[in-house]
Amino acid sequence: MPPLAPHQPGRRPTGELRRSLGVVDGLAISASSSAATTSIALGMSSLAAAVGLQTPAVLLLAFLPVLGIATAYARLNRSEPNCGNGYTWVGTSLGPWPGFLVGWVTVVGTVVFLAYTSAICGSVVLQFANRAGWNDFGLLPLDPNSTTLCTVVGLVVLIGVTTLAATGIRSTARFQTTLLAFEYAVLLAFFTGALITGRQTFSWSWFNPFAISDGAGFAQGVVLAVFFFWGWDAAFSVTEETRRTSDAARAGFISLFAMLGLFLFASVALQRELSLAELIGNGPQMLPRIGARLADEPWASLPLLALALSAVASVQSAMIPTARALFAMGRDRTMGRVWTRVHPIHGTPAAGTVLIMLIAAGLAVLATAIPKLSDMLLAAVSSGGLLVSLYYGLTALACAVRFRSALRAGFREAVLSVVVPAASGTVLLGIGVYLSGSYLTMSDHFEATPNNGWFMLSMPAAILVAGLTVAAWAKYGRRSPYFTSGRGTDEASLRLPMDTPDPRTVPGFPSGPRR
């Protein structure tokens, strides 16, 4: 690799991210992106509606393909550490067109998520403010049911967390760690109480997936449970900002197993405290209901505060991998050079981070004035599982293709490098096919409403078509080397850490130009 150019003390050369993170920092970013508190609060009711009291069993089953995907990420990251992760790895192993689509759907999906979730974040914050006795701000009532007010509050939160993310990844990780520590302490305290004093009898049958008689409900439950874990891969987006490349994989795996333990503990505790009808009926009010049952005010409001903090953390953590993905794409000239601007002092892609915030904020504001745009955002978020299954599945298959020579290197290497990633990727892509089929059959006509299956399916389809259009411009207009060279990233723009071998020396790494 060429030597780095000299630079002034305290300032970073253009295009180089600052290496300052360790395992704990990556763990905080990964766990915050998974947003376990939000998943528990908003998803457990839906999971119970699909599979009844077999929620723990389905969570365990869903964890297996996700663990296989994580294994693929770790192996690919070891051979080619890159903040673009799936975009780079799929582009190198399966081809630039699917690789670009992986990067594109990750970016667009997250921007849509931020635009839609900002209002939800604002609503949760206002709910806690009302519970704390703060019902107005001067003459303005703080109504959590006001879409406009919730959007404004959510945008204030978005601006605040963007500022923090742009001014230092280490300070962002510490902030996320503080929020996580509080959230988990509250959840563990209340769920322990529910486990001890619960009114429902514990049964080991809750862990038996064969007790689910409804095949459609079982499939829907597995789909929901898989996306409980979505976000753990954020640790790999900061691989160029970790002191050791292997720290990204450690953080991702620790986060995954921590999520599994917390989800299982929460599901059992909730089923001890609430009947099945109560589990299904409480919906988003699950955590406030648990708080009211187990404690008096002000302690009963702590679960709602934990949910509010989780919403704030998930908004911030969503921006981090998106800015890094666009940084990698800009570095390859598949996107504009503005995304590669690194702050000379803070060593973060600050310009890209702010741009993401501005785009998401603009969409959120427009959605309050244009009902159809709001419907489109809701449909895109609701069908986002299709995009997640696509980029997870393709990344896992890229691992199997890249290391296919490991099939001759012994049983262990063959299983971990090829068989497990291939099987996991196939499962995730199969989930995408299942979701597509369910959207097609849930409606018999097209209508631009968020609960119309054909309309929901059209949103990810439109994102993919737009991605192909932008990819064509990158190839023929920008003349991006990503579409012609044998590397996902220009060698001169990426300096690998000292503990990582040159990817070209790793067995199974493809060389030569793409066809």
pLDDT of residue 487: 52
Residues of the chain short of pLDDT 70, as ranges, are: 1-15, 485-515
Residues 23 and 244: beta-carbon distance below 8 Å: no
Asked, for residue 328, whether it belongs to a domain, the answer is yes
The one-character DSSP state at 446 is -
**Which CATH number is 277's domain given?**
1.20.1740.10
C-alpha pair distances (Å), 58 with each of 50, 64, 186, 393: 10, 10, 25, 20
Asked, for residue 392, whether it belongs to a domain, the answer is no
Asked, for residue 472, whether it belongs to a domain, the answer is no
pLDDT of residue 255: 92
- Closest-CA residue to 237 (of 328, 162, 150): 328
Asked, for residue 494, whether it belongs to a domain, the answer is no
pLDDT of residue 334: 93
Q: What is the DSSP string of 100-153?
A: HHHHHHHHHHHHHHHHHHHHHHHHHHHHHHHHTT--EETTEE--TT-HHHHHHH
Who's near 224: CB < 8 A, 6+ residues apart? Answer: 43, 46, 47, 50, 58
pLDDT digits (tens, 9 = 90+) for 398-442: 999 999 988 888 888 899 899 999 999 999 999 888 888 888 888
Which pTM was predicted? 0.85
> Could you identify the residue written with the tokens 């369910």?
438
Asked, for residue 503, whether it belongs to a domain, the answer is no
Phi, psi of 91 (to 5 degrees): -60, -40
Q: How far apart are the two ends of the chain, measured CA to CA in Å? A: 26
Instruction: For residue 273, give both structure tokens.
Output: 């405290």
Asked, for residue 350, whether it belongs to a domain, the answer is yes
pLDDT of residue 513: 32
Q: What is the DSSP string of 306-348?
A: HHHHHHHHHHHHHHHHHHHHHHHHHHTTSS-GGGG---TTT-S
User: What burial class does residue 145 get, using C-beta atoms within 10 Å of its C-beta: 0-12 exposed, 13-18 middle, 19+ buried?
Assistant: exposed
Who's near 427: CB < 8 A, 6+ residues apart? Answer: 65, 68, 393
3-state secondary structure of 479: coil
> Could you identify the residue written with the tokens 């600052």?
18
The one-character DSSP state at 445 is S
Asked, for residue 151, whether it belongs to a domain, the answer is yes
> Could you identify the residue written with the tokens 């969503």?
318
> Could you identify the residue written with the tokens 């691992």?
399
User: What burial class does residue 137 get, using C-beta atoms within 10 Å of its C-beta: 0-12 exposed, 13-18 middle, 19+ buried?
Assistant: exposed
> Could you identify the residue written with the tokens 């921007």?
111
Asked, for residue 371, whether it belongs to a domain, the answer is yes
Is-cis flag, bond preceding 501, omega within 30? no
Who's near 335: CB < 8 A, 6+ residues apart? Answer: 326, 329, 474
Domains held by the chain: number: 1
Who's near 394: CB < 8 A, 6+ residues apart? Answer: 86, 90, 94, 98, 102, 425, 429
pLDDT digits (tens, 9 = 90+) for 23-52: 888 888 888 888 888 889 888 988 898 899
> Could you identify the residue written with the tokens 């303005």?
140
C-alpha pair distances (Å), 112 with each of 315, 357, 376, 426, 490: 11, 11, 10, 26, 29
Domain span including residue 363: 23-92+103-383
**For residue 242, what are the β-bridge partners?**
21
- Closest-CA residue to 415 (of 92, 86, 72, 85): 72
pLDDT digits (tens, 9 = 90+) for 278-292: 888 887 788 888 888
**For residue 140, what are the β-bridge partners?**
137
Render the burial of 419-441: b for 16+ CB within 10 Å, e for the rest. Answer: bbbbbbbbbbbebbebbbebbee
Q: CA-to-CA distance for 232 and 257, rounded, in angstroms?
A: 10
User: What burial class does residue 204 get, using C-beta atoms within 10 Å of its C-beta: 0-12 exposed, 13-18 middle, 19+ buried?
Assistant: exposed
Positive or negative: CA dihedral 50, 56, 60, 61: negative
